[in-house]
Chain A
Amino acid sequence: MKYLLLSYLLIVFWPAPQATAAEPDRADFARDVRPILQQRCVKCHGPEKQKGGVRFDRRQEAFDPADSGKKSLVPGKPAESELIHRVEAADAVDRMPPNAEPLSREQISVLRNWIEQGASWPETDAPQAEGQREMVVTAEDRQHWSYRPLHAVEAPAVRHPGWCRTSIDRFILAALEEREIRPNPPADRRTLIRRLAFDLLGLPPAPDEVAAFTADNRPEAYAELVERLLDSRHYGERWGRHWLDVARYADSDGYESDADRPDAYHYRDFVIRAFNDDLSYQIFVRWQLAGDEYEPDNAQALAATGFLTASLTESPSKMEEERLRLRFAELDDMAATTVSALLGLTLGCARCHDHKFDAIPTRDYYRIQCAFTTTARDHVLLTARDQAARFREQESQWNERLKGVQSQWNDWLGEQKKPHTAALRRAKVDALPIGDAEKALLKDQPDTEAAKNLARHHEKALQISDDDYRRVLSDEQRRQWDALLAEVASVKAAQPQRPPTALAIIDKKPDPEPTWLLNRGDFLSKKELLSIGFLTVLTGNRPPEDYWTIAKREAAPGRSTAQRRALADWMTDVDQGAGALLARVIVNRVWQHHFGEGLVRTVSDFGVRGERPTHPELLEWLAHRFVAGGWRLKELHRLILASAVYIQDSTSDALRSQADPDNRLLWRRRARRLEAEIIRDTVLAVSGTLNLEPFGPAFKAPIPAEAIVARNTTDPYPPDARDTPATRRRTVYMFHKRVVQHPLMQAFDAPDATVSCGRRTCTTVAPQALALLNDPFLRARASDFARRLIAESHSQPEQQVKPGFQRAISRPPTGVELEASLQFLESQAQARRARDPAAPADAIDLLALTDLCQTLFSLNEFIYVD
């Protein structure tokens, strides 16, 4: 409508070459009339309420008489149409819509014209454009493998049970036996401890841990190692990072201003703690969608909703259209990320039209959006409600007190000053370096233009300071002065301490804001008012209203709409909601991180276009066990890590490679490259400089000025951040500034947090090698590593090389490797000595060893773990 009016006005001044607007006098129902009815009338006269028996969302009722007997619409006769009377009514009591801005003159004239022209309301007023029928979700749609309810599966029989250690292995082996492919035997202990340490903690095992595990021949040693690692607090730092990818978590807004989010890290900490504490995944999901509606007194639950705030955002524009665009982009992100992260479905495709492949009607998209329409980002006090209330009460009392003592002080001071002002001013004038005539002018005719100019010129010298007054006051007044000021200071000092706040989501009010079905995703084209709903294809016999009714009853009253809680209840409901798919998707994500590929390789697409699972029965068995065992991720890890398929070695041969080149049947282990964060953490750990401080505000790592390639208008990234112990923490705690990505992270394929990322790409490109060759941070760590080796040895090159290999790749060098390394040290020292004969011998040795350490960082074996 706005668009039309705007062009219309322009045409009045400037006859456009092509009149894009329609003739103003011919009203088109769909284009001109329905938007007015939808936006201004349907809330009370529509599908939800039919006040006075009037309904404007459907043709058949719109022309019926109302309860009063009057007709809202009389085709051809606006004067007899109650609609026109009511929107034009001068008396606010009669006017529609009530308690709201009246319709504009243009809107009324559109309605009037339309009725006059016969009030044509097309018979086939299908919601979809071009007469398309709205998608209906069928029983057949529900048959897609991932949409079905969970069912119990038996592990199959195998011909060679000797290889199997767990039920998982029977599923794997059965498929391999079918193809006559033999799986690999277990890897050696050194390989296993390295594999487990990187897999579970993202840190290299210390040489003594490797030695102890290698020497421990007890059969239970492996399981004990798994337990020890799962108990480590570094487990959450490793696995929390996987989830942060999915949650597109970052520490700044993105877009133009890219303002910092200094209190966003509470969400990151919540995730790490949830993994460490083995919080049930069901609760993990519920809190991220609606922690405030489940446990309003639990700081962790409140911080969890940071999941919904993690998207890009921008400070609101002055232009309404831009504000709406931004808000709808945010709402889209919340709904699409929720469904893709938790259910592995591409909901976003249904924003403008019914999903082309999956059974997701656009209506489902907007009904899910209802859960988020009323939300707002907020800096939430991370404390129980009563304490938050107490704090707010204290804060407001304190504000009052402060205001009181400040005005008391100001009033008193003003009173004391008054009698002295004239005299002090005269004294100031007398002291000015000007002639007597000018002094007289300033004293006697201060309001003349000349005097004012002169005063401006000597503004500073004429100013009477508080000290000037204090000097002329009496002792008693000075005592009072000090006492009053002391009172102000003491009130200021008593400021109640604010509990920590977190960037999180709240509902602005308990009544839902309206959510509309939009025409082709256009937020200016509202079609129909909706109430909360979910994915029909995943909903059983329990209607969405039912979830909402219960959520409203259970949630804390008066604070929010409980719609997110309804969504979360449905999401985690295994019997009537999306719980089965929720379980399959997370089990598959966990499998992917253990093996490099998911059982379903399209980890965020379980729809009909996604890949089928390589082992469907295994996925089902795991999901079933997972749910039956209380949604515990650590239990799932234990199951998987105990299997023969997990511990097998990486041996390959041509025959088996040919039969299954992609290793889809998992007949061997494949070496996997460490992720960007883990490369950095490992380099720090190996060099002995890793700062293990957990949690808290993110640190800003030094980024070379030339790599700060974006301009952001708020909180620019510091160009002078230093490489200090404080910035040598684990990378999961690194500040992720959205428009200034850390170069090492970018080079090694870390996601940029613009959208949910379920599977990182893994590229091999020259900039990675350039970083290892030349990056100052990595070179500095190589130098630290060399110092460490020197400090721990007795300057014997061999006693440096051997522990160097032990620390970097968890094994001693082979004879050939040792010899090559020693030769390298010798020739580097020689070359360096030749170039710089004056350099002290230990400096030369340090540099040569640094050159070796840097080369160890570059080894394939360093960065690829078997």
Chain B
Amino acid sequence: MSINSLHQSCGRLARPVSRRDFLARAGGGLGLLALPDLLGGPADAVGDEIAADPLAPRLAHIPPRAKSVIWLFMEGAPSAVDLFDPKPELDKGHGKKIAIDVFNGNPGPLMKSPFAFRQYGQSGTWVCEKYQNVARHVDEIALVKSCFTESNDHVPALYQMNTGVARAGLPTAGAWVTYGLGSENRNLPGFVVLGNTQGIKGGPVNWSAGFLPSTYQGTLFRSQGSPILNLDRPKDLVVEDQRAQLDLLSKLNGAHLDRHEGEPDLTARIQSFELAYRMQVEASDLVNFSQETQETQTLYGLDNKASRSFGGKCLLARRLVERGVRFVQVYSDGEWDAHSDLAGNHSGHCAATDRPIHGLLTDLKRKGLLDSTLVIWGGEFGRMPVSQGNNGRDHNPKGFLVWMAGAGIKGGASHGETDEIGYRAAVDPVTVHDLHATMLHLLGMDHKRLTYLHNGRRYRLTDVAGNLLTKILA
């Protein structure tokens, strides 16, 4: 294997000899044997395809609507009744005590929203005054108003949104998707997480591959400076030094390889160095925003201090899906966790995200990417209809809102309702499994057939549950 032939393979790793070889290399063991089954088609053909390369793009079960996902994760949990789902009963009952159990104890009385609402678009969707730019897209957005989860605590709730289950240890949705579909760009990871300034609660479990091969775990990117860890060369090395090291490495490894016929792991490892070398170029190029026009940068709110950070991540997300990255999760900065002063907290977060989200949806659309990109917006749970402390709201997993837009989504649609005060999912309640099932469906995967054999059981992202949210499908 010479360096040249690697360069000619367009970023794809050359194909190891057999399916077994792949299994050994990916460390997938038994699990991957499930893939041919789940992806349909003649088992051997699919097996070979996967054997060639764990991240190779793969055919879906059903015609996909979306190729990529951008999940705008509003960490800390925004309040639905203050953003997209106004409740007149809260205005009427403002100040009234009700019987209710809350996470931090001492529930206050019902609290009306501090924000004014009006209807937008042909769908007449209500949006609060703080989200006026997002509101311009309501006819592309479908609201899922009746979500609920189990835990009242941030971290288990984050884990549940990401894995379907409110505890650590299971593969995340991004890992499942990358496992199922591979990635279209081999110089970048298939599943990218754009973290936030304060660090994400619960850490890497939120983008873990769980028991899937760790090839499918999310890679954390930064939006400024060097996006991936270890992308910058040590200070005492220049690119020519590194090239010389790689050439020597290849020479020394070649002789070893000759003595180890039939060990594809060794070949794969030689190739991984070349891939890493190319990633340094590709990833640095990725974060070079000077390639974007001033107009585009302004569109994402990069000209404004409040929205610059989140705007940069939204722009980066677009650049990632443009390059074929499968799954991008964008975490909001700070936390929507408004235990006090909800008006101040949510105003700030709206200011940070309103123009970037508008920019992202607009830009995806004009670049023709919105048809193939599913955009998801939401937090790990919602907030209480009653006040906490100084005009805040406590955690509420019993009813909250998530929206989706883009590929395969029926714009202006809405699914489900919470009760009159926005406390509990009351009409057509939606579990996290339902959200995941719908996301997989849009990506062309039947959530019941995307399985992985682990400890004697065929696991699914959706466990034994999951219903498609057909009302919001175009």
Contact = CB atoms under 8 A, between A and B. Distances in A.
22 contacts: A14-B89, A17-B420, A17-B426, A602-B455, A609-B455, A662-B20, A707-B229, A740-B203, A741-B203, A763-B214, A764-B265, A764-B268, A765-B272, A767-B276, A769-B272, A770-B228, A770-B231, A771-B230, A772-B273, A821-B252, A851-B241, A859-B253
A356 B463 CA distance: 14
Contacts of B60: none
B324 interface: no
A319 B99 CA distance: 14
B346 to A, nearest CB: 20
Contact of B455 (A604, A706, A743, A847): A604
Contacts of B168: 254-255, 312, 752, 754-755
B238 A752 contact: no
B233 interface: yes
A256 B202 contact: yes
B155 A256 contact: yes
A711 B103 contact: no
B115 to A, nearest CB: 21
B263 interface: yes
Given A607-B456, A755-B169, A817-B252, 7 more contacts: A13-B96, A14-B419, A254-B168, A710-B202, A773-B230, A860-B257, A860-B266
B419 A16 contact: yes
B294 interface: no
Interface residues of B, number: 98
Contacts of A72: none
Interface string B86-114: 00010001001011111111000000000
Contacts of A611: 30
A824 B273 contact: no
A334 to B, nearest CB: 14
Contacts of B130: none
A816 interface: yes
Interface string A670-693: 110100000000000000000000
Given A319-B105, A847-B236, A774 B230 contact: yes
A605 B200 CA distance: 34
Contacts of B256: 859-861
Contacts of A317: 103, 152-153
A421 B397 CA distance: 59
Interface string A522-538: 00000000000000000
Given A9-B98, A709-B220, A831-B244, A671 B272 contact: no
A769 B273 contact: yes
Name the residue among B198, B266, B268 with the largest chain A CB count within 10 angstroms.
Answer: B266
Contact of A652 (B230, B248, B261): B261
Interface string B20-40: 100001111110000000000
A6 interface: yes
A657 B262 contact: yes
A828 B241 CA distance: 7
Contacts of B220: 709
Interface string A512-523: 000000000000
A763 B89 contact: no
B94 to A, nearest CB: 13
Contact of B151 (A322, A706, A707, A855): A322
A18 interface: yes
A828 B240 CA distance: 9
Contacts of B169: 754-755
A768 B276 CA distance: 8
Given A6-B99, A9-B98, A14-B89, A851 B245 contact: yes
B265 A673 contact: yes
Interface string A254-265: 111010000000
B184 to A, nearest CB: 16
B237 interface: yes
B307 to A, nearest CB: 22
Contacts of B241: 828, 831-832, 851
Contacts of B421: 10, 14
Nearest to B87: A14
Interface in A626-649: none
Contacts of B93: 13-14
Contacts, number: 283
B456 A860 contact: no
Contacts of A814: 255
B272 A768 contact: yes
Interface of B: 18, 20, 25-30, 89, 93, 96, 98-105, 150-156, 166-169, 195, 198-205, 208, 213-215, 219-220, 222, 225-226, 228-234, 236-238, 240-242, 244-245, 248-249, 251-253, 255-257, 260-263, 265-266, 268-270, 272-273, 275-277, 279-280, 417, 419-421, 423-424, 426-427, 455-457
Contacts of A861: 252-253, 256
Interface in A835-866: 835, 847, 850-852, 854-855, 858-861, 863-864
Contact of B195 (A14, A709, A743, A779): A709
A501 interface: no
Interface residues on A, range: 35 or more
A738 B205 CA distance: 9
A855 B249 contact: yes
A16 B427 CA distance: 10
A601 interface: yes
Contact of A661 (B18, B232, B276, B419): B18
A604 B225 CA distance: 43
B202 A858 contact: no
B153 A256 contact: yes
A711 B199 contact: yes
B228 A767 contact: yes
A851 B244 contact: yes
Interface in A311-338: 312, 314, 317-322, 325, 329
Given A312-B168, A767-B229, A20 B426 contact: yes
Given A10-B98, A346-B456, A854-B245, A762 B27 contact: yes
Contacts of B155: 255-256, 314
A746 interface: yes
Contact of A746 (B152, B199, B204, B251): B204
B101 to A, nearest CB: 6
Contacts of A855: 245, 248-249, 252
A214 interface: no
A739 B261 contact: no
A176 interface: no
A613 B245 CA distance: 44
B263 A711 contact: no
Nearest to A325: B151
Enumerate the 5 nearest inter-chain pairs by beta-carbon distance, A residue then B residue, closest first: A609-B456, A710-B203, A739-B203, A711-B199, A761-B27
Given A349-B457, A602-B455, A709-B203, A10 B99 contact: yes
Contacts of A90: none
A709 B200 contact: yes
B456 A774 contact: no
A814 B220 CA distance: 41
A605 B455 contact: yes
A6 B256 CA distance: 70
Contacts of A835: 238
Given A610-B456, A851-B237, A763 B244 contact: no
Nearest to B152: A322
Name the residue among A761, A763, A835 with the largest chain B CB count within 10 angstroms.
Answer: A763
A710 B456 contact: no
A198 B373 CA distance: 48
A256 B214 contact: no
Contacts of A710: 199-204
A831 B215 CA distance: 37
A463 interface: no
A602 B456 contact: yes
A850 B103 CA distance: 56
